[in-house]
Structure 1
Amino acid sequence: MKTVIKNVLLGSVAGLAMVGTAAAADLPVKAKAAEYVKICSTYGAGFYYIPGSDTCLKIGGFVQTDYYYQDYSYLDSYDYQDSYFLARGALRVDARTQTEYGTLRSYFEYRLTYGGSGSDFSESTGSNLDKAYIQFAGFTFGKVQSFFDYYADNNIWGIDSIAISSDTNAIVAAYTADFGNGFTATISVEDDSARAQGVDFDPNGGNTESDIPALVGNINYEGEWGGFQVSGMVRQLDSDYYGWSSGDDVGWAVLGGVKFNLPTFGEGDTLYIEANYADGAPNYTGINGGYSSIDQVYDLYYNPVSGQLEAAKAWTIAAELTHFFSPNVYGVVFGNYGEADLPTNTTMPSYNLFNVGGSLNWTPVKGLLFVAQYTYGETSYDSPVLDGKGDLTSNSDNNQVLLSVRRTF
């Protein structure tokens, strides 16, 4: 009997040893798996350590589909589509490493968009590197939102929506100084080719671009009540263009914006107000961001009387209010007013315009957003102009209705 009990006990011990050995063999695999998905909490949710490094990585993006209806008063119906659709997918990659000089960050967002615009009856796929930059020790190198911009059409929705303020990405080399207590200042050298609007009435069909980049500076403040920013920009205008002389060699722009946090009205409520003025740089104001104008405002105009290129002047004031009816439902109202002061004896008269709009936004679950937005714009000219129908008109307008859905991950 003792022998039987002894054999049973020995068998049990051996069995436990085998189980222990198997468990020990599994441990390295589990440890490696745990290391591979190790969470990096330093920079917020969604970051993980790249295996074998101290770099934290976050991968995300979004998929969005827009459905548009539009109407132009100054075009024949066969010159544009009443309705059109756009689909976009975007990939975002954010890598950060803590160093003795602070955070080393690299970021890019790549977008693919399929569809056609309101005036393009064909459909195609377009790609766009929306942002790609490196930040280190206060320096920023790459493609980012221009440091001139502030409000940047914060809650105006849509792949093909209007712009009511200064809102453009640019390739920059910038330095930002942090003075503490919410104050920063930035000096930035920027390629503003995307904002160059060229010369009106160019017989050679060309476009002007500055030989040197734009110089941008700003002072920014962010606090509990909100914030503000003042910005300035100076750029070269092409003074020797196809033999034309120019009386204006320098373009410049200034911006002043303020943001108010309004928790009394609703958690997350904000109000933005921004004003822009430009001389020889209208695309720094948002004057060209709507669809109600028959023509764009150019940097320079040829005056046949003086025989010189003369700079256009423009200014806008824009506002946007966001209100949360509930944590999952919020509304936005926005608008702007602007004036374009064009040189006399040119192809276009001076004019003023306004855009107004609003949207209702619903997030039924985290990461999913439905948007219904309406925008109206109107332009009034100092003297009649020819519209797309061949008629003289003193004003023109545009309506746009947008239904959109986005899944962010």
Structure 2
Amino acid sequence: MNIKSLLLGSAAALAAVSGAQAADAIVAAEPEPMEYVRVCDAFGKGYFYIPGTETCLKIGGYVRFQVDFDDVDDVVAGAGGAVIDIDDDNWNARTRALINVSAKSDTEYGALSSYIALRSWAEGDYVGDGEGELNELEIDEAYITLGGFKVGYAYNYWDIGLSGETDDLGSNRINQIGYEYTSETIKAGIFVDELTGHYTENDFGAALGTTDGYGNDGVGIEAMVSGAFGPISASLLGGYDFAAEDGSIRGIVSGKIGTGTLSVAGIYSTGANAYYDLAEWTVAAEYAVKLGDKFTITPAFQYWDSLDADLSGDFGGDRNAWRAGVTLDYKIVEGLTSKVSLQYTDMDDDGDISDDEEVFSGFVRLQRTF
């Protein structure tokens, strides 16, 4: 064997060994690309895709600090019919937190949506040994929509009132099921409601003999049609309480006049019912003036007639009430707003010494919305 043959044989052996080692070598796997959150613009601002799904999610909420005040005096009847004033705080500070989550996706039947809002008030009321505050977490709203169908727990059409804080035009938060049609200019809907109580405690000390009777575990039906036509918008709403065998109807008209928006509303109730029980009829008006991009001032007025109802729910008597006030809204920065409400209410005497017939009230609010 000569030197040349030896070198060629050694090179072949080394090549064979190197090839075997290369076949057995461990190669590190390429890292999988990270899936970042994708913006979903199909349903509006603020939505993003849940990773790995075609469902769009939006998270929001607010923190609200508010101080309520009034000049109501608590009084009781003393010996010999004397009236005794009880000193009491005429202001109360409250903090409210709300967080909401919206989930939406497209289906062959239209948009599938769910909405959940949770809230809690902190009023500084201590329980037990004083270590914790009485902060009860509650469901503000929770409902499902598919196309125009809606089912769940929500504020109903009666909660849609005027923009200021003077009016009281009804509000219910109830379980309901119904359908709503929406176009560019018209909205119409009809809902079946579970009525588990009356609309609200009567603000005017009215003798509502039916307060604990109507609406409890009952059923109601409501329907609304609304539309916008140029500078004018209007809505007509009706609700019927089957347990009370009475109902209410409400109309609201708004229009641009000068530098502001004038809104007028009216309600008529055939008798005390779960949709509206403050009075047989009422009218309200406001004029919201926007001064610049940040400040809005809204003076308003409302009148209620026939405050009292008998055991059958029929309104009667000649007591009435009125309220006048102003609401001031100021946008401090993006996401932070303030609101001041100043109201004066005058109602006819019902003979109860514990009621104030003339009340000055209001609140100051600071709210961070995200």
- Give the C-alpha shift of residue 145 in structure 1: 2.3
Residue of structure 2 in register with 1:169 after alignment = 173
Structure of greater Rg = 2
Map 1:223-302 onto structure 2 (within 5 A).
Answer: 223-237=229-243, 250-262=245-257, 264-265=258-259, 269-281=260-272, 284-285=275-276, 287=278
Say whether residues 1:28 and 2:38 are aligned partners.
no
- Residue of structure 2 in register with 1:369 after alignment: 337
Larger mean Cα displacement after TM superposition, 187-196 or 54-63 = 187-196
Going from structure 1 to structure 2, the CA distance change for 1:369 and 1:344 (only over 3 Å counts) comes to closer
**In structure 1, C-alpha distance between the alignment counterparts of 2:236 and 2:31, rounded to whole Å:** 60
Q: What value does the CA root-mean-square deviation take over the aligned residues? A: 3.2
Whether 2:190 is the aligned partner of 1:187: answer yes
Q: Where does 1:8-407 land on structure 2 (aligned, <5 Å)?
A: 28-29=33-34, 32-33=35-36, 37-72=37-72, 75=75, 78=86, 80-115=88-123, 124-147=134-157, 149=158, 151-156=160-165, 164-178=168-182, 180-195=183-198, 200=208, 207-237=213-243, 250-262=245-257, 264-265=258-259, 269-281=260-272, 284-285=275-276, 287=278, 314-340=280-306, 342=308, 349-381=317-349, 385-388=351-354, 396-407=357-368
Q: Cα distance, 1:357 vs. partner?
A: 1.4
Aligned counterparts of 1:97 and 1:63: Cα–Cα separation in 2: 28
Closer, same or farther: CA 58–113 of 1 in aligned 2, 3 Å:
same
Q: Does the CA contact (< 8 Å) of 1:68 and 1:403 recur in 2?
A: yes
Question: 1:286, 1:251 → 2: CA distance?
Answer: 10
Counterpart AA for 1:70: D
CA contact (8 A) 1:197 1:208 kept: no
What amino acid does structure 1 have at the position aligned with 2:161? A
Cα distance change on mapping 1:77 and 1:113 into 2, 3 Å: farther
Question: Does structure 1 conserve the Cα–Cα contact (< 8 Å) formed by 2:271 and 2:309?
Answer: no
Query: For each residue in 1:277-305, what CA deviation from the matched residue of structure 2 results, as whole angstroms up to 9, or x when unmatched?
Result: 11233563473xxxxxxxxxxxxxxxxxx
Q: Where do 5+ consecutive residues of structure 2 fail to align?
A: 1-28, 76-83, 202-206
**Do the aligned residues in 1 keep the contact of 2:215 with 2:273 (CA within 8 Å)?**
no
The one-letter code sitting in structure 2 at the alignment partner of 1:220 is: S
Whole-angstrom CA distance in 1 between matches of 2:325 and 2:274: 21
Separation of aligned partners in 2, 1:405 and 1:343:
38
C-alpha distance in structure 2 between counterparts of 1:315 and 1:79, whole Å: 35
Q: Could you list the per-position Cα deviations for residues 152-185 of structure 1 after superposition, in whole angstroms to 9, with x for gaps in the alignment? A: 24332xxxxx75212222221011234x452232
Residues 373-409 of structure 1 deviation map (CA, whole Å, 9 limit, x = unaligned)? 211111014xx512118xxxxx702111311100001
Give the match for residue 292 of structure 1: none
Give the alignment's TM-score, normalised by structure 2. 0.76
- TM-fit CA distance, 1:316: 0.9
- Find the counterpart in structure 2 of residue 295 from structure 1: none
SS of the residue aligned with 1:375? strand
Q: Tell me if the contact between 1:175 and 1:187 (Cα under 8 Å) persists in the aligned partners.
A: yes
Aligned residue type for 1:252: G
- Whether contact under 8 Å (1:134, 1:140) holds in the other structure is yes
Alpha-carbon distance in 1 for matches of 2:160, 2:195: 18
Give the SS at the match of 1:28. Answer: coil
How much does 1:77 deviate? 5.3
The whole-number CA distance in structure 1 between the counterparts of 2:311 and 2:59 is: 54
Find the residue that maps to 2:86 and give its secondary structure.
helix
TM-score using structure 1 length: 0.70
C-alpha distance after superposition, 1:114-170 (max 9, x if no partner): 1179xxxx97323332211111121111122213x27424332xxxxx752122222
Distance apart, 1:317 and its partner CA: 1.0
The C-alpha deviation readout for 1:50-90, integer Å capped at 9, x for no partner, is 11111111101000111122112674653742111110000
C-alpha change, 1:134 and 1:261, in structure 2 (3 Å) is: farther
Q: Rate the CA distance shift 1:271–1:56 in 2: closer, same or farther, 3 A.
A: farther
Using the TM superposition, give the Cα deviation of residue 315 of structure 1 relative to its aligned residue in structure 2, in angstroms.
0.9
Task: Note the alpha carbon deviations across 1:236-288, whole angstroms, 9 max, x for none.
Answer: 23xxxxxxxxxxx51111111112245x51xxx4332111111233563473x
In the aligned structure 2, how far is the partner of 1:25 from the partner of 1:324?
59
Matched letter for residue 152 of structure 1: G
- SS of the residue corresponding to residue 113 of structure 1 reads strand
Query: 2:361 & 2:238 partners in 1: Cα distance?
Result: 32
Are the counterparts in 2 of residues 285 and 315 from structure 1 also a CA contact under 8 Å?
no
Task: Give, in whole Å, the separation in 1 of the partners of 2:224 and 2:72.
Answer: 37
Contact (CA 8 Å) 2:222, 2:238: kept in 1 or not? yes
Residue 9 of structure 2: aligned partner = none
| Deviation digits for residues 335-374 of structure 1 (CA, Å, limit 9, x no counterpart) | 211112545799x954111112112222121000122221
Contact 1:62 1:406 in 2 (8 A): yes
